[in-house]
Amino acid sequence: MIRETFVHIDGVGYRTEERLWRSGIHTWDDFSSTRRPPRIGPRLAKRMEDEIERSQQALRSGRHRYFARKLPSRDQWRAFEAFRSHIL
């Protein structure tokens, strides 16, 4: 689930995330393989690319606190599957 969210990125809200999903961009990998996401300006697209790279690094290295800080509280559940072994 964590790879299917974008709301942890500054400037991306629920409407933008929904628009991405409707356009076929469901995961970070989908976003990375898209030349120009629909209705996303170049600045935000660059910010998203950079944040997705940081997110992938945090996920690979098991840094769950990174997502705890970045995700809105109502979306923290999205990180559960990726970090379930870190939970008591």
Question: Number of folded domains in the chain?
Answer: 1
Residue numbers of the domain that contains 17: 2-86
Question: pLDDT tens, 57-75?
Answer: 999 999 999 999 999 999 9
pTM (predicted TM-score): 0.88
8: which 2 tokens? 């942890």
Question: pLDDT tens, 9-57?
Answer: 999 999 999 999 999 999 999 999 988 788 899 999 999 999 999 999 9
